[in-house]
Amino acid sequence: MPLYAKPSKELVIDLINEANPQLPFPLTKDTVSVALPVKLPDTPGKIQNASVDVVPRAPSGYTNKMTLQYRRINLASLFRGVEVRVDVYTSRGTGIAPIRLSDILSALNKKYGLSLAYEDIQDAWFPTANANAVPGKRSSRQVLRMHPQSYAYVGEVTVLWVQGLQNVADMVKQTSLDGRLYPGGNVFDETHKYVANLDTFSLDMTEHSAAMNALQAGSVIGSGNTTVLANQQAVIDLINQLTGKTFLRDVAGEYGLATCTVQRYTLPAVAVPEANASFNRLVTFTFPTAHPWGVGKLYLHYNV
């Protein structure tokens, strides 16, 4: 639980309620107006260092103004013996001031259980010079001074800023996604090419492993010597037999596989994380970007 979880003004109101448990109606930020605090002179033996005027609002159950004296939290005392450090990312380059005090407030509050707001502080840039406090990381020190009219805080403390990791939430602005990107794009109009990915994905080509191994990895469908072309045709004939399709070796038009690239993988393989893990070999026929009819890949899984 944070040490001081509420905004500065509400901390003062809570202090009033705590010191006056007999109140029939506890004060809230909605039932009273709190004027700006006034610094009290230092008096030996007296801990109060500020005063405020509190005016009830209707219908709070109270009337008239009252002046209260209280002690604001001194940052120097609160952080005595503690190095105040925050790790926050900035995109500002070296050679210029990296970040402002107001930019690190959220991280400082979260780390140390505070609720400092912009109104509580005197904002300033961290110096350009690298403090070299953390090897290999950009860092800088700045004095965090409280504003004279902060309701709950006084004093100052030195803060060490260190370049932090970039927050992914700050980079990914579009969080409502359309789903996986289909080969050729997600707009399926009359111009979208044929997506081949699922045509053969479910096939088990283990029975035809000899024909699969005979394919030349790196070859292009429709190109090569007589043996290469014959081996390509043999596998295409098997695909047509098993799928009922009419894929063609030597054309690039409808159902044409010409210019597709043949690749073979030993599974699992980083290059094809989508491959079926039930098999230890995979051959793919990949359509080139400029193919006039198809996009994606034909997947041919088998075991050896």
- The tokens for 70 are 């209280």
Which pLDDT value is given to residue 186?
Answer: 75
pLDDT, one tens digit per residue, over 175-214 is: 777 677 778 777 777 788 999 999 999 999 999 999 999 9
pLDDT, one tens digit per residue, over 19-65 is: 999 988 889 999 899 999 999 988 888 899 999 999 998 877 888 89
Which pLDDT value is given to residue 4?
Answer: 86
Taking alpha carbons only, the member of 51, 29, 25 closest to residue 39 is: 51
pLDDT, one tens digit per residue, over 2-16 is: 678 899 999 999 999
- Separation CA 147–CA 102 (nearest Å): 13
Higher pLDDT, 97 or 174: 97
Which pLDDT value is given to residue 152?
Answer: 95
Q: Is the model's pLDDT at 1 over the cut of 60?
A: no
CB 67 within 8 Å of CB 55: no
pLDDT level of residue 229 (50, 70, 90 thresholds): very high
Which pLDDT value is given to residue 2?
Answer: 64
Compute the average pLDDT of residues 136-150: 96
Q: Is the model's pLDDT at 127 over the cut of 80?
A: yes
- Lowest mean pLDDT across 41-50, 129-138, 149-158, 242-251: 41-50
Mean pLDDT of the chain: 93
**DSSP for the chain, written as a single string:** --SS-S-HHHHHHHHHHHH-TT-SS---TTTEEEPPPEEPPP-TT----EEEEEEE-TTSS--S-EEEEE-PEEHHHHTTT--EEEEE---PPTTS---BGGGGHHHHHHHHT----GGGEE--BPPSS----STTS-EEEEEEEE-TT-SSEESEEEEEEEE-PPPHHHH----S--SSPPTT-S--STTPPEE-TTTSTT-B-GGGHHHHHHS-TT-BTT-S-HHHHHHHHHHHHHHHHHH----BSS--STTB-TTPEEEEEESS-TT-TTS-TT-SEEEEEEPPTT-SSEESEEEEEE--
Residue appearing with tokens 């902060």? 150
Q: Is the model's pLDDT at 112 over the cut of 70?
A: yes
pLDDT, one tens digit per residue, over 241-298 is: 999 999 999 999 999 999 999 999 999 999 999 999 999 999 999 999 999 999 999 9
User: Which spans in the chain are helix H?
Assistant: 8-19, 75-78, 105-112, 168-171, 209-214, 226-243
Taking alpha carbons only, the member of 174, 220, 215 closest to residue 300 is: 215
Residues of the chain with pLDDT > 90, as a percent, come to 81
